[in-house]
Amino acid sequence: MERLKELRLNHIEKANNVKDFDIISLGSETCWKNVPSIEEVKEICSKPKSQIKIVLPFVPQQNLDAAKKYIDTLFLQNKNIIVIFNDLGLLSYAAQKENKNVVLGLGRYFDWSYNWIPWKEDILLGESENIVNFVNSTTLYDRNKISFYKKMNIKVIEIEMSKSTNKIVKWFANYGIDVHVHINEKLVAITRACPCKRIFGESICKRCGENLLKLEFSKKWIPQTSFITNEERYIVDPETNKKFPLLFLKGNIIFRINTDYSEVEMRNLECSTVIVDDSFREVLSDANRI
């Protein structure tokens, strides 16, 4: 079966120029301000060719009523839409509604694990092969969780590419759940306090994701060991530097490039859909990964 290709856009303006992708997705895993407006959803739904996916973040209480109204409107659309949830409360609300055109899915925020940590090998040092394989898998790899999410009509999950992906895809297929795989980037950390907004001001929100900020480790902070005020608190530590890959800040998420799999494993990937984040297409010039 030929894999579908999904392009995750930061802004709807680029949707008119999308070529060679089967699915267009808009929205955010972590910030309500980056969710497309209902008018934009209607606009993109009017495009005849592509499948549409809307990604919704975890939602603070102050945005909950607006989020519920947003879902109400999504369920009134006639075009087939995949809606990805990263908030359990919002998912529970949507699961009570019916529209055969709307497919519910789980975002990777539900897959929080040690697998996000770049230095996970140090944490897993000395652990058995079974433990290492378990941590490198997905935290959704649980029959009780799947039973729970099936009751909420989940049909799609999003995970990140790893050496265990094909095994995960086959396991979820037994439960009638389709797996969409992020192939280029991996989550490292998420915060509700947005560093980009703090640095650049609220105007950056409208352009979030257009330019990734590179984070490169330079010095390690050490605790103060004396009362001498001019003591150097930051030191260069080559061994620590090796453990920190080049990181990328996008809004309130830190990513790294996913190097956890080989080209052979990519070619043999058996999932139905691969996800390409438009923010990383300029960072990654290797067309084989896109």
Q: Is pLDDT above 70 for 65?
A: yes
Q: Which pLDDT tens digit goes with each residue over 106-115?
A: 999 888 777 7
Confidence (pLDDT) at 132: 83
In sequence order, the 6+-apart residues with CB closer than 8 A to the CB of 54 are 25, 26, 27, 35, 36, 41, 74, 81, 82, 83, 84
Q: How many whole angstroms separate alpha carbon 24 and alpha carbon 9?
A: 7
- Could you read off the pLDDT of 228-274 as tens digits, one per residue? 556 667 888 888 888 888 999 998 899 999 888 888 888 889 999 99
Six-digit token pair at 168?
A: 């995960």
Residue 86's identity, in one-letter code, is N
CA 10, 11, 14, 16 torsion-angle sign: positive
Query: Tell me: domain 4-184+258-289, CATH 3.20.20.70, correct?
Result: yes
pLDDT mean across residues, the chain? 86
Query: Domain residues of the chain, as ranges?
Result: 4-184+258-289
The reply to whether the predicted model has a pTM over 0.75 is yes
Beta strand 253-257 pairing with 81-85: unpaired
CA-CA-CA-CA dihedral for 227, 231, 233, 234, to nearest 10: -170
Q: What is the pLDDT of residue 48?
A: 67
Q: Which of 134-138, 218-222, 238-242, 271-275 has the highest mean pLDDT?
A: 271-275
